[in-house]
Structure 1
Amino acid sequence: MTEVYGSARPRKRRGRRLLITFLVLLLILAAALLVADRFAASYAEREIGDRVAQQVEDQKATSEQPDVTVEGVPFLTQVVRGRYQEIKILLRSFSGPAGNGQTIKMPLLDIRAKDVTAPLDTVRSGNGDIVAGTVTGAGTIAYADLVELIDQEGLQLSEKDGKLVGTAPIKALGQTWNVSGTATVEVKDGVVQVRFADVTAEGLPNVPLVRNLVDNYVRNLALDLKVPALPLGLKVQKVDPRPEGLVVTAGASDVSLNSGGL
């Protein structure tokens, strides 16, 4: 009687090889999908960046090439759903006209478009609306740049307890006094208004001549600052004094990203 050995072992080896081959194919497919996903996202980011750059130029403003990031992974899943988590747009070295020959500078204008709806048919055909539910933007005006805009010799600005504080030398009665005061910062019709009040100096005589001198100086510190037109229909909503400068916050709702808005 002849016995046959080892007939099951080759089948196990073949099964193992098939499993390894299947796993390798899965890894290759996953890598290919990842590459395709990143390629599609990069293409969309470049397109958005080019449109924002054109809008900045149209508004007579300047900045470095926009740095655009479509948040959320995978990107292609968002394309299929027609909804995007967030689009981040960074405009470095942003500057624009503020009226009266003045220019506002912001080292960084940080824009975020959220709840973006873009149906797949609209993306494919170019017909229809791509809309961001909300768009927010924030940028900082350095105090040194604000001093330059006010254009009063010796003026220094800073933040204290969340308020804008100014100090400056003033000459009265043959002496130089360091006066200081707190400013209110408000936004009215898109214009940032800076108004100083309660300007005092230790030891400064409280006589009409000196008081009038100080009052005239304070009036010269007043500033109406028109913020340049911002991309994506952003409108200035508030301005907050911070240690690094005046932080300008802007916002907009239901912004069209493929007609007029971008």
Structure 2
Amino acid sequence: MGEVYGTQQRPRKRRGRRLLIGLIVFLVLIGVLLVVADRVAASYAEREISDRVTEQVAQQQATSEKPDVTIEGVPFLTQVLDGNYQEIHIKLPNFSGPAGNGGTIKTDLLDVRATDVNAPLDTLRSGNGDIVAGAVTGTGTIDYDQVAQLINQPGLKLAEQNGKLVGTAPVQALGQTFDVSGAATVEVKGDVVQIRFSDVTAEGLPNVPLVKNLIASYVQKLAVDLRVPALPLNLKVQKVEPQPDGLRFTAGATNVSLNTGGL
């Protein structure tokens, strides 16, 4: 009897294993489908945001290559249901715009991050209501050759030294050419970046009133106001810092509407 009983139980164990394996495979497939659906939804949203940024850049008479948008954080669908997004990362390669006086300012990359984005599901479905980013920051670098061209003084070379903007240029005085150099202050005033040089000196430069007046006049010519092009997402330049590769600017905005005033 014991042998018969044991023989009857083996098919049940096999069926149990098959059911367990089938359940595991089913759950794995469901998981894969959810991941695929999550990425498809995220890709769609990223393309929509990229198209809106492209439109706004054109409206501001600026240009850039197609924006590269990444919605950070996974799973994406969970963020959709919750109505809050951790971070939206927007890269605008080769961004450029008018800088006033017929000039143009270009940065190889305008790097923008929108955080604490509130987008209720009902708003996404209906298109009514606001999608708001609690904070938006953007960074970019303007190389020194551009800045020197905007100052428009022959032979001027700009660089960063010990965290400061310094310039050197040849100046004619008393029939000789002197290489003068000096440091500049860089300040943000509204939508204008002001560059002002001071303490311009040169080795061997005669200390006579005529030469002093000549240098003072030249320093005034080095002064320039760079009008910052209109930036997407209502970004306003807050800080400019000399870096080895150029003037790095940081822009910011708060409570930006991404579906009206922003994107």
Q: Do the two structures share a fold, i.e. TM-score over 0.5?
A: yes
2:160 maps to 159
What is the CA–CA distance in structure 2 between the aligned matches of 1:135 and 1:260, rounded to whole Å? 13
Q: CA deviation at 1:215?
A: 1.0
What is the CA–CA distance in structure 1 between the aligned matches of 2:157 and 2:3, rounded to whole Å? 101
2:182 maps to 181
1:127 maps to 128
What is the CA–CA distance in structure 1 between the aligned matches of 2:208 and 2:7, rounded to whole Å? 114
SS at 2:250's partner residue?
A: strand
1:26 maps to 27
What is the CA–CA distance in structure 1 between the aligned matches of 2:183 and 2:27, rounded to whole Å? 65
Q: Give unmatched runs, 5+ long, in structure 1.
A: none
When normalised by structure 1's length, the TM-score is 0.98
1:48 maps to 49
SS at 1:195's partner residue?
A: strand
Give per-residue Cα distances to partners, 1:174-197, cap 9 Å, x unaligned. 111111000000011110000000
What is the CA–CA distance in structure 2 between the aligned matches of 1:96 and 1:209, rounded to whole Å? 41
Q: CA deviation at 1:90?
A: 0.3
Q: CA deviation at 1:115?
A: 0.3
SS at 2:106's partner residue?
A: strand
What is the CA–CA distance in structure 2 between the aligned matches of 1:176 and 1:15, rounded to whole Å? 95
What is the CA–CA distance in structure 1 between the aligned matches of 2:33 and 2:90, rounded to whole Å? 27
What is the CA–CA distance in structure 2 between the aligned matches of 1:120 and 1:225, rounded to whole Å? 42
What is the CA–CA distance in structure 1 between the aligned matches of 2:2 and 2:40, rounded to whole Å? 63
User: Aligned AA for 2:204?
Assistant: G
**Would the alpha carbon gap of residues 2 and 226 (structure 1) be closer, same or farther in structure 2, given more than 3 Å must change?**
closer
SS at 2:259's partner residue?
A: coil
2:261 maps to 260
Give per-residue Cα distances to partners, 1:53-101, cap 9 Å, x unaligned. 0000000000000000000000000000000000000000000001110
For the aligned residue pairs, the C-alpha RMSD in angstroms reads 1.1
Give per-residue Cα distances to partners, 1:190-218, cap 9 Å, x unaligned. 10000000000011011111111111111
User: Aligned AA for 1:55?
Assistant: Q
What is the CA–CA distance in structure 2 between the aligned matches of 1:90 and 1:199, rounded to whole Å? 39
1:223 maps to 224
What is the correspondence of 1:110-149 to structure 2 with a 5 Å cutoff? 110-149=111-150
Q: Give unmatched runs, 5+ long, in structure 2.
A: none
SS at 1:63's partner residue?
A: coil
SS at 1:6's partner residue?
A: helix
1:81 maps to 82
Percent identity, please: 70
User: Aligned AA for 1:160?
Assistant: Q
User: Aligned AA for 1:10?
Assistant: P
Q: CA deviation at 1:2?
A: 9.7
What is the CA–CA distance in structure 2 between the aligned matches of 1:2 and 1:73, rounded to whole Å? 55
1:106 maps to 107
Q: CA deviation at 1:161?
A: 1.0
User: Aligned AA for 1:243?
Assistant: P
What is the CA–CA distance in structure 1 between the aligned matches of 2:260 and 2:175, rounded to whole Å? 63
Q: CA deviation at 1:8?
A: 1.6
User: Aligned AA for 1:30?
Assistant: G
Q: CA deviation at 1:220?
A: 0.8
Q: CA deviation at 1:51?
A: 0.3
SS at 2:7's partner residue?
A: coil
User: Aligned AA for 1:101?
Assistant: G
User: Aligned AA for 1:59?
Assistant: Q
Q: CA deviation at 1:3?
A: 5.0
Q: CA deviation at 1:10?
A: 1.4
What is the total number of aligned residue pairs between the two structures?
A: 262
Q: CA deviation at 1:173?
A: 1.3
